[in-house]
Structure 1
Amino acid sequence: MSGSIAQLSPTHATVDTSVLINAAPEDVWATLTDFDNMANWSTSTLQGMTGDIQDGGSVTITFIFGTDENGEPNLMEIPHTLIYEDGQSFGWSDPFSEDIGGGHDNHLYRVEACGDQTLFVQSDEIVDNPYAANFVAQLLPMYQTFNVELKASVED
């Protein structure tokens, strides 16, 4: 498993994570895109997606970002325009609200054949946001947890 963050400017930062999964890409993709079942194995970040799941489709992402004052997960439902390439990748590039600094993110989930295994890559780029470095610092461990949980779910 690997992960890194980079601050490219005061308002631009990236987070990149990956994990090697002992399964074929189509098996990883099947688990990754079984959005109805995702909350059964994912305890961090992405919990599911509903809507028009195709390139350019309007979807609602269910996402955990931190916890509330009682330690319960902060579940958010966020509308996105989907970037989707069947069997290979999905993500979005949409604006952040002004109350969290504005700008936008470029979030991508990708599967790549790697011999008889699959490299799963999750990356995010925060652009034109004064809190970009803080966001990616918070996202790195959450993305790594998601990656490990995806690996465990696929390999079971």
Structure 2
Amino acid sequence: MSKLIRTEILINVSPKKVWTILQKFEDYPNWNPFINLIKGDFKVGNQIKVTITPPGSKPMTFKPKVLTYKFNKELSWLGSLLFTGIFDGAHKFELIDNGNGTTTFIQSENFKGILVPLFKNSLEKNTKNGFELMNLKLKELAESK
């Protein structure tokens, strides 16, 4: 079973400017309403620590593995509940250079595993709302500097 949550927003600055904000993980508690913490060495293959607080939910901390770190383009990780196959989430931030000084920011997560049907409604509502709130704050912060 799988469930994809995907959001996007147009940000009126270059991908470089968006990237600068996105990769400063130590600043997340100051502006990010969804991802409260990212700690660790964000290099492909490394395990990091992430805490999220979806709207209407309690904070959740997990230790995903970094999948991608492509400068000015993409960050992603894969987290699992207990062990692989139960409830896995591949989270991704993508920055698309529109060639006109703007960036399309895409935030997505592909959930897989036997427990996905159990969490489907919460994912569609709370997790997606968390993505959208983060996207709006990222846009606001990027465009205000």
User: What TM bracket, shorter-length normalisation?
Assistant: 0.7 to 0.9
Question: Does 1:58 pair with 2:39?
Answer: no
Question: Does 1:106 pair with 2:90?
Answer: yes
Counterpart pick for 2:74 among 89, 95, 119: 89
Deviation per CA, 1:9-66, whole angstroms, max 9, x where unpaired?
xx321111000001110100010111111111112x2123111111111211121134
Aligned CA distance change for structure 1 residues 81 and 96 (closer, same or farther; 3 Å): same
Q: Any stretches of 5+ residues in structure 1 without a counterpart? A: 1-10, 69-73
Any conservation in 2 of the 1:12–1:132 contact (CA below 8 Å)? Answer: no
Any conservation in 1 of the 2:53–2:130 contact (CA below 8 Å)? Answer: no
Write the distance in 2 (CA, Å) between the matches of 1:67 and 1:15.
Answer: 17
Counterpart of 1:105, as a letter, is: G
* Higher normalized helix content (fraction of residues): 2
Counterpart pick for 1:131 among 113, 118, 122: 118
Any conservation in 1 of the 2:55–2:127 contact (CA below 8 Å)? Answer: no
TM-score (norm 1): 0.80
Write the distance in 1 (CA, Å) between the matches of 2:60 and 2:128.
Answer: 18
Counterpart of 1:150, as a letter, is: L
Partner SS, residue 153 of structure 1: helix
Any conservation in 1 of the 2:62–2:79 contact (CA below 8 Å)? Answer: no
Partner SS, residue 18 of structure 1: strand
Any conservation in 1 of the 2:50–2:64 contact (CA below 8 Å)? Answer: yes
Write the distance in 2 (CA, Å) between the matches of 1:97 and 1:149.
Answer: 31
Question: 1:103 deviation in Å?
Answer: 2.6
Write the distance in 2 (CA, Å) between the matches of 1:108 and 1:82.
Answer: 10
Aligned CA distance change for structure 1 residues 94 and 77 (closer, same or farther; 3 Å): closer
More moved, 146-155 vs 123-132:
123-132
Write the distance in 2 (CA, Å) between the matches of 1:136 and 1:15.
Answer: 8
Partner SS, residue 40 of structure 1: helix
Aligned length: 138
Partner SS, residue 63 of structure 2: strand
Q: How does 1:31-70 map to 2 (within 5 A)?
A: 31-43=21-33, 45-67=34-56
Question: Does 1:25 pair with 2:15?
Answer: yes
Write the distance in 2 (CA, Å) between the matches of 1:81 and 1:107.
Answer: 10
TM-score (norm 2): 0.85
